Chains A and B, each alone.
Chain A
Amino acid sequence: MLTHLLRRYKPWHILGVAAPLAICAAPADARDAQTIIGQSCAACHAAEGKNSWSRISHQRKTPEGWLMTIARMQTMHGLVISDEDRRTVVKYLADKQGLAPSETETARYALERSLNTVEHIGSEQYNQMCARCHSAARPALQRRPAKEWEHLVHFHLGQWPSLEYQAQARDRDWLQVALKEMVPLLAKEYPLDSKAWSDWQRHKPQPAALAGRWSFSGHMLGKDDVLGVMTVSPAGKDTFKVAMQGRYADGQSFNGSGSALLYNGYEWRASVKVGGVAMRQVLMARDGEMQGRMFEETHDERGLDFHAAKSGSGKLLAVQPDFVKAGSETELTLVGANLQGKADFGPGIQVVSVLSQTPEQVRVKVKASADAAVGVRSISLGRLKGGSLAVYQQVKEVKVLPAFSVSRIGGNGGSTPKVEGRFDAEAWSQDTSGKPFRVGVMPAKWSVAPFDERAEEDQDVKYAGKMQADSGIFTPGDAGPNPARKMSTNNAGNLKVIATVDDSGRALKGEGHMIVGVQRWNNPPIP
């Protein structure tokens, strides 16, 4: 309810910024991880027999999680370690004490840096106790026994004494709640030992299986659908070379190349230069598919959802675009691997002609009859099923995605770049029974408006940044105080994001909420 002074001292303001996770493996002559841990960590972490050390050997986490822990040892405890040794230790611990794929599923958005995700992890109490200063995903991406969760509680309050005085902490006996209620809950929800993990260790697939040709489909927020082919070739143990050839739906093509490192048998991390821009892939590689997100390294808000299928066995990933208006003719592209056979979009949608066909892409012209059944239908190609197509007659509603988001002022000589706002206009319609269904992302005209009276009075629209009318990309204002504003405040703001979609002459509006915040002073790998 109130403005909370002490919240200015959020822990993540203080934590050191960790370098991004390595994507190249250490050279062959590097010392092995056990030796490094024995020399660099054992000064503080007692050896407990062979390849086991106090604290270190009693936790499991993601590669990013291990990186953050060791970076913390450097910034807070004075650990001295070379980047190369750190890479070796992170790789070793992430492989040996990682998470099973299923254990990461509900929180991958944090690794993928989809920072506008509205989190749905855990109870209200969990969110107040554990996700007030950082994401709910951060603890959910770790596994520990009760004793180690207890250590973590003590570390938090010891390191940030103001923590128990902040809002949603000073209203309760914070330490007792943390120790007596949260620790048992965390140890139960996120235990060190699990069946998923022991199964994964036994059945980890061979990394060599990832080499080959991958067909991908994706969507870039605030831009377009993308598709293409990614070629993966082996470059050493768990390391790969990556080449990409892709195309946006508007026809613009791109090429990229880079390298990848596989952690723990499925955590794929690649760095790919696309037209001079360094992009990062955070993907889960499993069962002949890779899924996750690819984003610019210095602007993680610019990114695409990415789904790829390995050539070898047939897989239909998606159809682009994924909607068609009843009574219209349009071109659709089926994306997948080993595509063959006839496209079937179900009754009322006739394939007029096949424009092109490769194992990865099948481009067809279709005609949807005026009375084609509306709704979302599954589609097939030969014996492959996958993807879905929405058939609609009228757009009934437009949703702005993300519905709630934070962009950030920046630049202006400061070290922190602006964080753009990026939006999609998602059209919805209704089936014959009146049930809403998603049509798909449509072009829109974009604008911003004051979110409330206060924003109106403070002229946030004028100061907080500029929305590009055609693209839905919002560029926030410059960082620092602005003498033109009341009380010389900065260019932060509180805005409505408005999309107007034209559906055959009918204009439909959708609305989202965007906070234009101040810079994020600290930006750890897991938010």
Chain B
Amino acid sequence: MSVKTIFKLAGLAMAFGTCAQPTLAASDLALQKGHEYLAVTNYPNNLHIIDAENDSLYKSCRLPDAFGPGTIQISPDKTRAYVLNNHYGDIYGVELDSCNVVFHATLSQQPTERARAIFSIGLSPDGKELYSIVNPTRMNRDNYVVETPRLQVYSTSAGLNAKPERSFPAPRQTTMLQAADDGSLFVVGADVYKMDPHSGKTEVNIPLRNWTRPLYSPPDVLYVWPQQRPQHTFNLLYTAARFKDEKMNPETADNVYGFIDINLANGKSELVDFAPITEVYFTGARSPKDSNLMYGVLNRLAKYDIKEKKLLQSASLDHSYYCLTINKAGNKLYLSGTFNDVAIFDADSLKKIGNVKLPGGDMAITTAQIFTR
């Protein structure tokens, strides 16, 4: 894409940091059993719960400390949200009914250490453990030393001064992670790794940088939204060049978009090219209704036929959105990230059907989560 796109995006996010604010909704409102909600975070440091049935703001919780990145994970019993925040340095657990903070872990383990989790936050299938791979740096008096990343395993009942129960060395350059039903972790990095959170054993599960697809360049993955999908999958997008022949000439190559879907119930994964690159999508997801439909969003909202690798339809947007969420029924799309409004689109017609304006500022790179209490 053009250089300009980068400039414009940067400009947008900066410019819209603050807006006229609606007031915060009451914080001690309980969630209703069986009801579908969407959780998002935004500046200065809010966790918002949107009612995904009448598409309005249901409640807002204030989070402690500083915002960023605001990556959310909802507990398996749907009573808590865990948020990676405070400049990638802390994880907070919030009880959704009361907005009480019931869990807090500072990721750094020493006063002289700075540890940051790059979108790395996940929960065990039973909700009893929380996982985060951190990148630590030892800060000496007159120099820094970058240390080996660590998987830190916490008990979610550890309270407000949680310390890791176990930790294991982890590969560098990892981002999102999610636990499969058998308890093993899928970790996105140079490749997708499978990690045992009890032994620390790590192996490559889906090769990416090291894939061996003939006539393909290594894929590029910039996907930092670990969304808990209604299909119980863990998904991401990649881009790659598909060359015409052995000469691997990038000039004549096709640039393709693909997705990886990991089924968290059985650990099986799919890796599929679904479109030529014509524009950038930050996030994308398959429809829970029709697994042959793929949606993507950034400057436009797009819908693809996966098998045909064909753009079926697209919709223009008022501004860019980073994060695309689909409700359980697969009939509504929620667009969030950047700015402070969630746009709602009909998944079939791609017509805009609603907009929820949030109190507070930019959602930046929040990870929205849809869930049924």
Contact = CB atoms under 8 A, between A and B. Distances in A.
Contacts of A492: 4, 7-8, 11
B173 interface: yes
Given A1-B1, A2-B222, A490-B15, A161 B320 contact: no
Nearest to B189: A170
Interface in B304-356: 317-320, 322
Interface in A440-455: 452, 454-455
A44 B141 CA distance: 5
Contact of A480 (B8, B15, B299): B15
A260 B215 CA distance: 61
B209 interface: yes
B190 interface: yes
A455 B4 contact: yes
Given A159-B144, A487-B317, A492-B7, A175 B172 contact: yes
A411 to B, nearest CB: 14
A50 interface: no
Nearest to B317: A487
A490 B5 contact: no
Interface stretch (A5-13, A59-67, A109-117, A367-375): A5-13
Nearest to A174: B173
Contacts of B318: 487-488
A155 B7 CA distance: 27
A173 B298 contact: no
Contacts, number: 126
Given A55-B142, A155-B143, A481-B12, A162 B4 contact: no
A151 interface: yes
B172 A173 contact: yes
B1 A3 contact: yes
A4 B13 CA distance: 14
Interface in A43-67: 44-46, 54-55
Contacts of B222: 2, 4-6, 165, 167, 170
Contacts of B365: 5
B146 A157 contact: yes
Contact of A3 (B6, B135, B144, B190): B6
- Residue from B2, B16, B139 having most chain A Cβ neighbours under 10 A: B2
B224 A454 contact: no
B265 interface: no
B175 interface: yes
B299 A487 contact: yes
A128 to B, nearest CB: 14
Given A6-B222, A454-B4, A1 B144 contact: no
A250 interface: no
Contact of A490 (B11, B145, B239): B11
B9 interface: yes
Interface string A56-90: 00000000000000000000000000000000000
Contacts of A493: 4
Contacts of A489: 8, 11-12
A1 B3 contact: no
Chain B interface category by residue count: 35 or more
- Residue from A155, A165, A455 having most chain B Cβ neighbours under 10 A: A165
Contacts of B3: 494, 515
Nearest to A164: B173
A44 to B, nearest CB: 5
B193 interface: no
Interface in A384-426: none
A158 B10 contact: no
A279 to B, nearest CB: 29
Nearest to A166: B222
Contacts of A165: 118, 173, 175, 222
Interface in A268-292: none
A29 interface: no
Given A46-B142, A490-B11, A492-B8, A171 B1 contact: no
B172 A154 contact: no
Contacts of A153: 146
- Residue from A5, A7, A494 having most chain B Cβ neighbours under 10 A: A5
Interface in B108-144: 114, 116, 118, 135, 137, 139, 141-144
B220 interface: yes
B207 interface: no
Given A161-B116, A494-B3, A154 B145 contact: yes
A26 to B, nearest CB: 25
B88 interface: yes
Interface string B14-37: 111000000000000000000000
Given A174-B173, A492-B4, A158 B146 contact: yes
A517 interface: yes
Contact of A481 (B6, B16, B218, B220): B16
Contacts of A162: 118
B255 to A, nearest CB: 7
Given A2-B280, A481-B16, A164 B172 contact: yes
Contacts of B144: 151, 154-155, 158-159
Nearest to A43: B141
A46 B143 CA distance: 12
Contact of A487 (B7, B141, B319): B319
Contacts of B6: 3-4, 7
- Residue from A46, A158, A170, A494 having most chain B Cβ neighbours under 10 A: A158
A490 B4 contact: no
B221 interface: yes
A489 B365 CA distance: 19
A170 B142 contact: no
B371 interface: no
B255 A8 contact: no
Nearest to B224: A5
Nearest to B209: A171
Interface string B137-179: 1010111111000000000000000000000000011010000
Nearest to A161: B116
A137 interface: no
A3 B322 CA distance: 12
B322 to A, nearest CB: 8
B282 interface: yes
Contact of A515 (B7, B12, B172, B255): B7
A526 interface: no
A316 interface: no
Contacts of B146: 153-154, 157-158, 175
A308 interface: no
Contacts of B282: 5
A44 B142 contact: yes
A55 B118 CA distance: 30
B4 A8 contact: no
A490 B142 CA distance: 42
A518 interface: yes
A54 to B, nearest CB: 5
A479 B215 CA distance: 45
A267 B165 CA distance: 57
A440 B337 CA distance: 52
Interface string A325-341: 00000000000000000
19 contacts: A1-B1, A1-B220, A2-B1, A2-B220, A3-B280, A3-B298, A5-B224, A151-B144, A158-B144, A158-B146, A162-B118, A164-B172, A173-B173, A481-B11, A489-B8, A489-B12, A515-B3, A518-B10, A518-B11
The 5 closest A-B pairs by CB, nearest first: A158-B137, A158-B144, A490-B11, A518-B11, A161-B116
Given A157-B137, A165-B173, 9 more contacts: A5-B224, A8-B9, A55-B143, A171-B209, A173-B172, A494-B2, A515-B4, A517-B7, A518-B14
